[in-house]
Structure 1
């Protein structure tokens, strides 16, 4: 009977999720995008194309059999630059959102479980971060010269360093919203009978938090993480557009827009394509998060009924 009920709950969740057309379209778009990003290196190898190779004799070319979306101001293949930029932007969005969720989950569980002064200290710290304007804060943090803080120039000039820096900065300032959500769920779950039984058996706080409470608060964490990905991609694009994020020649959708802003009248496609992909990707993750939230809410209502 319990197994049958579990199957019914899963069926109700997926049926509610897939009946949302925007969620299905978003999932198809993101799946296609990720597949294209994964296939791009194979295509580059087979065709012998370097997306960062400069060819000034073939600037601003239109779509052709060789360059499906044409070339940019330096003669580089635009489609491959977009896919490589998508790999960077999506990677930053996914990794930063996961790290933010992990930090926020740990903080929220700790605050909700222990309460008292621990709860007050963690939540006041979270409130301080939330009260700060996020974009100006990110701009200030990314503009800090790490070389003056003792970080070796060798590390700073590494291709992946700018991505790593953005991920860490966004994760540090992005965890409070997850923490508040997890704390609220923890406070509700903590009053259940099985938690009281676990407390009476003198289980360690870590065991109770991660074995008994965490599995019951994962649904809002998944939804919040999904919704956060789109916002992080948008922030990364803004930082790269301002010259504070991913640095050329590494492609990201944001720095591709930066390179295209002076060429908008000469070759509009250089700005249209990265801007269009940023828009679609952010909207897709938001639609996906909303659909997950509705499906999980419907599942919870059916369980209560």
Structure 2
């Protein structure tokens, strides 16, 4: 069995199509089919059910996929470990980052890090907070930025931000004159909520349930500035971290304290018992110190 066979097999799994996988790998479809066929013959088992439009895995194919991912991940880890021997003259970091966080804290830190370590490449992928945690756990990213809490037995945690949630309502709303509002007072309001992929969705949903009501959601978004504009148009209320509220310039929107206080704390996370490249460790130290 060759590593190339496993790499090609995973590409077919990823695209669910021989044609698309071949295009991605820049090889001919017959060559790819032959490679997959040779892997199946070596294992004496059909791995992929082929049709005109898609390629689906058999039960055996699912098992091979899982082991192939582990094997190739370990090969990549080996390569990363050896690259560390050449110090930080080169390196790469893969980071998972929720969009709502990226615009707040990362641009200035990234720019400064790049000036200090110009030969380290950084690949940032934007996912919702829950998906970032899952992707770090599965090894897609070396590190991610997540909303706490996360499983402390599963992850190393490096706190970076302590914040709390605030209410945003239209300035003509009957509650707009209040300095502090009980969350339970909002049970009849229509909420502009976060998409389910975001940690904020679960945090505020659970907090509302604890306060005795299920929030009435008018619509969901992943863009905080769009959510603010909807509040400014008097379409509903929303709840956002204070650090985001500090950027709100819409004069139609009033920002009010919420009780009970709901924390919004951020941390860089890495998976425990997994090798973290020297470049990534350097980035963590650099970012946490800011």
What range is the shorter-chain TM-score in? under 0.3
In the superposition, the TM-score normalised over structure 1's length comes to: 0.23
Relative to its length, the structure with more strand (as a share) is 2
In the superposition, the TM-score normalised over structure 2's length comes to: 0.23
Relative to its length, the structure with more helix (as a share) is 1
